[in-house]
Amino acid sequence: MHHTMINKNSNDGFTHIWISILFFLVLLCTVVTVITSAGTVTLITTNTSESNQWNPTIYDNWIVWTDNRDNTDFTSYQDIYAYNINTGVEKRITNPGSYANHPSISGKLVAFDNRQDGNTDIYLADLESGSEWRITEDSASQEFPSISGHRIVWQDDRSGDSDIYMNGTSPGLESLLTPDAATTNQKFPIISGEKVVWQDERNSNSIYMTDISSGSSYLISPDGVTFDFSTGFPEIAFDNGIVVWRDPLNKIVKNDTRQLPMSQSEVSLDSTTQKYPSVSGDKIIWIDDRQFLDDIYFNDLPGSPDERITTDDDAVDLLYGSPKIFNNRIVWTDNRDSGFEDVYLYTIDHDEPCPVADFTMSSQSGAIPHTIQFNDTSTDAKNITHWNYEFGDGNVSVDTTKANQSFIYNVPGTYDVRLTVNNPYCRSETPVDNKYKVSVGASPIAAFTTDVSDGFVDLKVRFTDSSINAETWNWSFGDGTWSNTTDVSEKNPEKTYTAAGTYTAYLYVNNTWGTASAHKTIKALTGANVTANTSIDGFAFTEPFGSQFVTFTKGTVPDCTIAGDSLVCHGADLADDGWTNITFTSNDGIGFMDHGATISGNLSSVSFQITEIHPAGFSETTGTQSSMNHTITLDTYPEDATVNSQVWEGYTDDDLFLFSKIGRSSGFSDILGVAYTLKIVKTGIPSGGTAKIRMSVNATWVDDHMGRSHTYIERISDDRSTGEVLRPRFLYHDPATNLDYFEAESSRGSSTFGLVQLTGSGNPFQLITLTIASQVNAPPPSGGSDSYGNSGAPSGSGKGLSAQAPQKAPEQKAPVAFIDSGKTAPLYANPGGVITQETTLTSTDTLASVVLGEGTIAKDSAGSPLSSISIASIAPDALPAAPPYGQAVMIDGRAYELGPDGATFSPGITVTFTIPQAQWGKEYSLMMYDKATGTWSEVPGSFNAKDGTFTAVLSHFCCVALFEKTIGQSAVRQTTQTPQPEPARLAPIVTPSSQPPQNALSIVFSMAEWISGEAVHRSSYLTALAIICIIVLSIMLLYRRRNNP
C-alpha cells in the first residue's frame, strides 16, 4: 500500500512536469520570428595582427576607423585609417604623433578628435589630397565630431559643461548651437543635412533637434526618456530626418521628423534588450542579445521579421564602438579570428563566396638583380577586381587590375611579399608566411616542419626542411645528438626520442651570404599508454533475428554472471585484454538464458569498462598516485576492435588551445590549469555511444585552483573541431592518498578529455543542464565537506523510507525579504585598459559605491581591458564564518560581491560604504574574503564620523564585508579557516531513494519557468530548448524507473 502511494505521488509530480513542458511548447508557437539575413561578410582590416582597429564608420565607398597598428603599447598614439571598397586602397590619413579617435565621414572629408597637443581638439582630413586641418583651438575638450557636407558639429566642454558647437569646416568659425542649455549637458551630436540632433539632460533626459536654416529647436523624444550618460558611445542615430534611439524599456524606437506631427514607433517587436542603433534611409540596425550574445540585427519594414546579421560564436565587441550602416553596407568591430579587434563589412542582400588570396612565385631566391614572376592563384578569382602586390621593399603594384605581375629586386635582402585582392563586397590578403618570402643576395631563411610535435616515448619524429636559399643543413635535436649534411637528399632526418622530456630542436642553415636558424619544441611524454581489445575467447556473435545475438561459452577466459537483464563478465583473465568488466544488456523481455554450458541472449547494448590506469611519472602537484578509468556503452559489440588510452600530465600546446577555446565558447572566462589529459583512440569502434570518465587528482591541486566548484572535465571531439565542458560529480576524497575523485558522463562518446579548472559562469544552457546532471545523478552526501558548501553529513537510518519512520518536521526558516540581483556599469577604456571616462557604480541599497577615475588601468583576470564592473549585496550567512577579530561581528546586510572576480586596478580604486547607524565607541573595518586561499584579511581604510562613511582602496575585486567591534578589544587581522577533517571513504555509497530528491525537482521546475520566460522573446535556439525539455523529462522518467520498478 505504501509503495503504491509513492508511485501515485510520483505520477502526480510527473503530471506537473508534463503540464510545464506542454505550456512551454505552446509558448513556442507565440515566439517572434527572426531570420538570418542573406549577405556577404568580409574582414576589412587584414594583416593587422597584435593590434586593434575600432570605431568604424562608413560613407559611400569609404570605411574609416581608429587604428593602433603602428603603436602596439596602446598608450602613445593612434591613427585614423581609411579603406576604399571599390579600389581596395587603404591609407593612414592622420599625421605622425596623433592620438585620434571617433572618426566621422562625409564625401571625401573625415572629421575626428585628436589629443596630440595635450587636449582633445577637432581635426579634419581630405581623403584625396591628404591634407589635415585643426578645426578647434580652445583649451577645453572637444570630441565626438559628426560631419555632413561642409558642416561639422561636436561636443564641447569650454563652458564647464558639455555643449554642442558647429563649424562650417573653417578653423576658428565655430558657433554655439545650444545657448539655452546652461548648467546641463548636451552630448553626442549627429548632423544630417540642415538638422542636428543630440542627447540632452533637459526634460528628464531627452533628444533635441535644431534646424540650422531656421534656427528652430525641437524636443524629439517624449519627456522622461532616460539615457545613461556614463556610456562611452551615443545611444542615438540620425539620417535624412529619421531619428532612432534606445528608450527606457531598452527598445529601439524611431521618429520621422520629416512630417508633422512627428510619428514615433518601435522598430522591432522582440522584447530583448536592444541598444546602439544606426540608421541609413529606412534601414535600421541595432545590437541585441536574443541569442545570448551581442549580435547585429536589421529591419527596414515595420512589422516584418528582424534579420540577424552576425552569426559568429563571438559577440560584437561594444567596448570598441557601435555598428554603423550606410545604404546596404554595415561595419562593426569584433575579435572572432585573432583575439584582437578587427573591422568587418557586411553587404545586405548580396550573397557570394569571397575570394581567398594566394599566389605563386617563379623563384624565392637568387643573386641580385633578380626578377620574379608572381602569378595569382586566389580562389573565386572571377570575382576579383583588383590585385595589389606589396613586394616587401616598399614598392607596390603599379597596375592593380592585373592578376599576374613581375618585379625586379635590386637590393640584397629578405622580403615578405603580400597580395591583397578585393571586389566591392570582399577583401582578402595573404598572411606572413615563409611560402611568400623572397631572399635575394642575402642569408638563407631557416624553416622546417615536423610530422609530430609530441607523443609517448619512444617518439619518432620526421624533420622536413622548408628553408629558403639554403646550401648546408645542420640539425641539433635537443638531446645532444646532431645531423650535418650538404646533400639535399639527406636534409630531412628522422629522430627517435627514448627519454621523456621537452626538447628544443634547432636547424642551422648556411649559404654564401650568411647563416640562419629555426627551432621547434618536441615533447616526449610519459604517463600511460595502454590498449584494450575486444577479441576475447568465449564470445560468439550472430544476427539471426536482424539484431546482434551473443553466445557465451562457460569455462573460457571471462567469468560471466547473469544479473537481471544483464550479463556481467569480469575476472583477472579479462583484465589481460584491458577490461575490468564487460556488461551485456538485453531489453527484449526475455533476457539472457543459461543453457548449462552456454549463456545466450539478444543484445540491446554493451558497456566496456577499462582497467584502472596508473600513469607513471606524475608529479607531486598532480598526484603521484592519480588514476583514472573510463566506460563506453555501445548498441552493438564491436568485434576485433581496440581502445587505446593515453594519459599524460598537463597538456600539449594544441590541446591547451582547444581547451581554452571550448571553455570560452561555453561562457567561461579563463582556464586556470590542466591537471592531465586522457586521449582515447578507438579502432574498429563505431562513432557515438556514451562514455563515463572517472579521474582522480591531488586535492591540493584542486584547492590551489579555486576548489571543486571550478573543476571540470573538457572533451575535445575526435576530429578536434568541436568540444564541450562536462560538469563532473565529486565522488569522494581519499585522505590516505589526498586524492579527490570526479566522474562525468559524455553523451558523445570517448575522445580526448582534460581535467581542468575554469573560472567564470558558463552559458545559461550549459549551467542548467550541468546542474541537473550533477544533482539528479549525484551520490548522496558523505562525510566531509565539499567546496559547494555542503556538509555532507549522513542522514536517515539507512533503511529507506518504506518503513514509514516518523519524519521530523522541517525547520522553519525566516523568509528572505530581498535578493539582490546586483547592478552593473560599463567601463570605457582604450585598448590598453586605461579608463578614459570616470565611472561611479552604486549598490542597489545605495549604501556602497565604487569609483573608477580616469587614468586607472583596469583589467580582467586574463589581463584584457575590463569592460564592466558589478556590485551585489550578499547575505552574511552566505559567506564563510568570519575570523576572530576581537569581538567583531559582521554588520547585518553589509556584505557585497564585487565583480568580475579577479579584476585588477592600478592604481587602486575607491570604495565607500555608508553606515547609517554608526555609533560612538565602535571601530569599523572592511574585510575581504579570498576564495582561493579560504582566508579573511583586513583592507586598510578610514572611517569618517561626520558622515558615517568608511572608505578603502582596492587593487582587485572579491567578496567584502563590513565589521564592527567595541573599541579596546584585541584584533586578529588575518585567520585562515580550519577545514573539518573528512572521514575516510574508499568508494561512493549509493543508497536508493524512493523518489527524486527535492532539489532535482526544484531545478526542473525552475528551469521550466526560466525557459518559458525566455521563449516568449527568443526566436532562435527553439530546437535546443525543446531538446532540453525532452532531456529533463527523460532524466526524471529514468530516475523514476530505476527507483520505482
What is the DSSP track for 280-303?
A: ETTEEEEEE-TTSS-EEEEE-STT
Pairing of strands 365-366, 437-440: parallel
Write out 700-740 in H/E/C secondary structure: HHHHHCCCHHHEEEEEECCCCCCEEEECCEEEEEECCCCEE
Weakest mean pLDDT among 501-515, 536-550, 924-938, 958-972: 958-972
The SS3 call for residue 663 is helix
Cβ neighbours for 702, distance < 8 A, ≥ 6 positions apart: 708, 711, 740, 757, 787
Cβ neighbours for 260, distance < 8 A, ≥ 6 positions apart: none
Q: Distance between CA atoms of 156 and 177, rounded to whole angstroms?
A: 11
Same fold: 39-348 with 448-525: no
Closest CA to 473 of 490, 497, 461, 456: 490
- Per the prediction, the chain carries an average pLDDT of 80
For every residue of 554-607, DSSP letters joined together read TTSSSEEEEETTEEEEESHHHHHTTEEEEEEE--SSS--EE-SSEEEEE-SEEE
**Per-residue model confidence (pLDDT) at position 1030:** 61
Weakest mean pLDDT among 16-20, 102-106, 660-664, 1034-1038: 16-20
> Is the CB of residue 1018 less than 8 Å from the CB of residue 1028?
no
**pLDDT tens digits, one per residue of 687-724:** 889 999 999 999 999 998 889 999 999 999 999 988 99
Question: What's the CATH fold of domain 39-348?
Answer: Neuraminidase (2.120.10)
More confident residue, 801 or 281: 281
Q: Name the class of domain 823-976.
A: mainly beta
Q: Could you tell me the three cell numbers for 454?
A: 609530441
The SS3 call for residue 770 is helix
Confidence grade of residue 584 (pLDDT, cut at 50, 70, 90): very high
Does 43 score more than 60 pLDDT? yes
Judging by beta carbons within 10 Å of its beta carbon (0-12, 13-18, 19+), is residue 595 exposed, middle or buried?
A: exposed
Please indicate, yes or no, whether the overall pTM of this predicted structure exceeds 0.75.
no
Alpha-helical runs (H) found in 796-940: none
More confident residue, 509 or 547: 509
**Per-residue model confidence (pLDDT) at position 885:** 44
**pLDDT tens digits, one per residue of 433-474:** 999 999 999 999 999 999 999 888 889 999 999 999 999 999
**pLDDT tens digits, one per residue of 606-626:** 999 999 999 998 999 999 999
> Is the CB of residue 921 less than 8 Å from the CB of residue 967?
yes
Closest CA to 653 of 677, 637, 630: 677
Q: How many residues in total does the chain contain?
A: 1045
Q: Distance between CA atoms of 715 and 607, rounded to whole angstroms?
A: 20
Does 28 score more than 50 pLDDT? no
**Per-residue model confidence (pLDDT) at position 73:** 53
Does 495 score more than 50 pLDDT? yes
**pLDDT tens digits, one per residue of 119-131:** 899 999 999 999 9
**Per-residue model confidence (pLDDT) at position 970:** 38
The SS3 call for residue 679 is strand
Does 21 score more than 70 pLDDT? no
Cβ neighbours for 525, distance < 8 A, ≥ 6 positions apart: 454, 455, 456, 457, 459, 500, 648
**pLDDT tens digits, one per residue of 236-286:** 899 999 999 888 888 898 988 887 777 788 898 888 888 889 999 999 999
The amino acid that residue 998 corresponds to is: Q
The SS3 call for residue 659 is helix
The amino acid that residue 1013 corresponds to is: G
Q: Distance between CA atoms of 326 and 59, rounded to whole angstroms?
A: 6
Confidence grade of residue 75 (pLDDT, cut at 50, 70, 90): low
pLDDT, average across residues 306-321:
72
More confident residue, 902 or 218: 218
pLDDT, average across residues 373-398:
94
**Per-residue model confidence (pLDDT) at position 799:** 28
Q: Distance between CA atoms of 144 and 155, rounded to whole angstroms?
A: 6
Residue 369, preceding peptide bond in cis (omega within 30° of 0): yes
More confident residue, 416 or 806: 416
Closest CA to 669 of 830, 839, 908, 868: 868
DSSP state of 878: G
The secondary structure element, H or E, covering residue 275 is strand 274-280
**Per-residue model confidence (pLDDT) at position 226:** 52
% helix, strand, coil for the chain, step of 5: 10, 45, 45
**Residues linked to residue 528 through DSSP beta bridges, in sequence order:** 647
Distance (Å) of CA 726 to CA 756, 773, 789, 1029 = 10, 9, 21, 19
Q: Distance between CA atoms of 92 and 88, rounded to whole angstroms?
A: 14
Q: Could you tell me the three cell numbers for 553?
A: 561459452
For every residue of 929-993, DSSP letters joined together read EETTTTEEEEEPEEEETTTTEEEEEEEE--EEEEEEEETT-----EEE--PPPPPP-SS------
pLDDT, average across residues 993-1019:
41
**Residues linked to residue 568 through DSSP beta bridges, in sequence order:** 561, 583
pLDDT, average across residues 526-541:
93
Beta-carbon count within 10 A of 544 CB: 8
The amino acid that residue 579 corresponds to is: W
Q: Could you tell me the three cell numbers for 24?
A: 512551454
Highest mean pLDDT among 501-505, 891-895, 950-954: 501-505
The secondary structure element, H or E, covering residue 1008 is helix 998-1015
**Per-residue model confidence (pLDDT) at position 33:** 53
**Per-residue model confidence (pLDDT) at position 375:** 97
Beta-carbon count within 10 A of 44 CB: 22
The secondary structure element, H or E, covering residue 802 is none
Q: b/e string for 983-1020 if b means 16 or more Cβ within 10 A?
A: eebeeeeeeebebbeeebbebbeebbeebbebbebbbb
The SS3 call for residue 435 is helix
**Per-residue model confidence (pLDDT) at position 1038:** 55
Q: Distance between CA atoms of 259 and 245, rounded to whole angstroms?
A: 18
Could you say which architecture CATH assigns to the domain 448-525?
Answer: Sandwich (2.60)
**Per-residue model confidence (pLDDT) at position 1039:** 53
The SS3 call for residue 27 is helix
Q: Could you tell me the three cell numbers for 329?
A: 553596407
Domain 359-440 maps to which CATH number in 2.60.40.10, 1.10.10.1400, 1.10.10.10, 1.20.1050.10? 2.60.40.10
> Is the CB of residue 560 less than 8 Å from the CB of residue 552?
yes
Confidence grade of residue 526 (pLDDT, cut at 50, 70, 90): confident
**Per-residue model confidence (pLDDT) at position 225:** 57
Beta-carbon count within 10 A of 818 CB: 9
Pairing of strands 566-570, 559-563: antiparallel
Cβ neighbours for 217, distance < 8 A, ≥ 6 positions apart: 180, 208, 209, 210, 211
**Where in the chain are the domains?**
1-35+993-1045, 39-348, 359-440, 448-525, 527-762, 823-976
pLDDT, average across residues 642-669:
90
Q: Distance between CA atoms of 165 and 206, rounded to whole angstroms?
A: 18
> Is the CB of residue 254 less than 8 Å from the CB of residue 243?
yes
**Per-residue model confidence (pLDDT) at position 782:** 32
More confident residue, 764 or 495: 495
With a pLDDT cut of 90, the percent of the chain lying above it is 46
**Per-residue model confidence (pLDDT) at position 168:** 80
**Per-residue model confidence (pLDDT) at position 642:** 96
Confidence grade of residue 314 (pLDDT, cut at 50, 70, 90): low
CA angle 654, 659, 664 (to 5 degrees): 130
